[in-house]
Structure 1
Amino acid sequence: MSFPNQLLLQNVAWAHEAGRRDPALFDRLRQGQQPKVLWIGCADSRVPAEIVTGARPGDIFVHRNIANLFLPHDDNTMSVLEYALYVLRVSDVVVCGHNGCGGVRAALEPPGHNMPRVEHRIGVLRQLARRHGAELAAIACLENRADRLAELNVIEQARTLETLPLVRNALPRVCVHAWIFDVRNGLIRDLARAIDPSVDTGATGTSTADVTTMPLSQVSWPDAHGGAAGQHVDQRSAAGR
């Protein structure tokens, strides 16, 4: 049996089981969608948004592409954002990257000549790697260097989102989150919350809710060694590259 045919059979089994567990599920889905979150993630087959978060159908509005990039000049991406904010009225936008990302690693290697569209797509990642060249050069292992660039990329895309009038003017107010998924253990790390472990204990006088709703441009992100990496925001992102 071919794998596509196997998927069709699995779909039948899933539909029966989902209907058995939640008899009202398909009635709700038929009435429309009311997702709470827009998820901008990587197209990598190992990071399916609904599965890794335990979400139900209708909970997450998903946009995925190579290396979870958000490019303001890309009509595909911008139309997803526009629809999510002004029609679906989501209140949260998650940018989720992951370690072991092939697109991110490619940005640290010599250009490939047989995939011009991919190469064009990851050009912004090469620029980001050059901007953080000193920090990345200090990481000897290529795998670890790529994982650090994946984190920097998530932060960059989240900051880019926050600069957009589309996001700033949206009602209800939109919170942008920067997450990284670890394919080695299946856990998601909130990069904003990971900056200061004392946040959850209240030792700093700031609640977790305060941090996770704080504009990302106000967050001092950690570098690869745990120190503050500064608050640089590439203003070119607001106008497109």
Structure 2
Amino acid sequence: MCAKKIATKDISCETLLQGNKDWVEEMIQTDPEYFNILSAGQTPPVLWIGCSDSRVPANQITNTMPGDVFVHRNIANVVVHTDMNLLSVLDYSVNVLKVKHIIVCGHYGCGGVKAALGNKQVGIIDNWLRNIRDVYRMHDREMETIKDPELKFDRLVELNAIEGAANVMNTSIVQNAWSTGQELSVHAWVYSLKTGLIKDLKVTSSSLDDVTPTFKVS
């Protein structure tokens, strides 16, 4: 029996703790060995690089369970080579967990991408959003042809995910895995808050052949 959902306005530390107890009870009723199995270790086949937005939880929108998806999230699912947090997650995922898929998933309606489209100062996050403005600059010819503001917003969300996937495959971490024959694919996806559906942007890389010469390492 599913626990009653708490209205957002009524959420507190106490309700969160009670919710945890209700969830544990529900899981044990479903499978008495659930937590014994879960605590034995993890072998997730997927690394998910997504946005920190509270409306885009990787497990729920992919209908997967704890232990199925290794997750890294940041504002606007940005992938840059100077982010040691992301690189540490990527290295562990590829070299220890041996994931088979790395998914960079953006989402339409992303507040970070929208802020990057404007000129209003937000705070220290402005420095982070500079990475998305760089994506715009790289695709400025295409972006300037899009006159509808919403379509332009959506396209930048897509391009940010695509460039994020490219930055993943350009890392020495992924390229070294490919050079040893490790099975690994990198994908770019976008999630829609309006429909709940994920769009595959048809950008998938699975070998060193997909890396441009400029970024190849040896």
Q: TM-score, normalised by structure 2?
A: 0.86
AA partner of residue 82 (structure 1):
D
Map 1:64-213 to 2 at 5 A: 64-112=73-121, 114-116=122-124, 118-170=125-177, 172-192=182-202
Counting aligned pairs with the same residue, the percent is: 42
Q: 2-side partners of 1:163 and 1:156: how far apart?
A: 10
Question: Which of 50, 59, 66 is 1:50 aligned to?
Answer: 59
Q: Describe the shift of the 1:216–1:184 C-alpha distance in structure 2 as closer, same or farther (beyond 3 A).
A: farther
Q: Describe the shift of the 1:217–1:151 C-alpha distance in structure 2 as closer, same or farther (beyond 3 A).
A: farther
Unmatched tracts of structure 1, length 5 or more: 194-211, 219-230
Displacement of 1:15 after TM fit? 0.9
Q: 2-side partners of 1:162 and 1:156: how far apart?
A: 10
Unmatched tracts of structure 2, length 5 or more: 1-9
Q: Describe the shift of the 1:217–1:156 C-alpha distance in structure 2 as closer, same or farther (beyond 3 A).
A: farther
AA partner of residue 115 (structure 1):
G
Partner of 2:88, secondary structure, is helix
Partner of 2:104, secondary structure, is strand
1:19 aligns with 2:24: no
Q: TM-score, normalised by structure 1?
A: 0.78
8 Å Cα contact 2:175-2:208 kept in structure 1 = no
Displacement of 1:24 after TM fit? 2.1
Q: 1-side partners of 2:160 and 2:213: how far apart?
A: 12
Displacement of 1:97 after TM fit? 0.4
AA partner of residue 193 (structure 2):
V
Corresponding residue pairs, total: 205
Deviates more, 1:11-20 or 1:179-188: 11-20
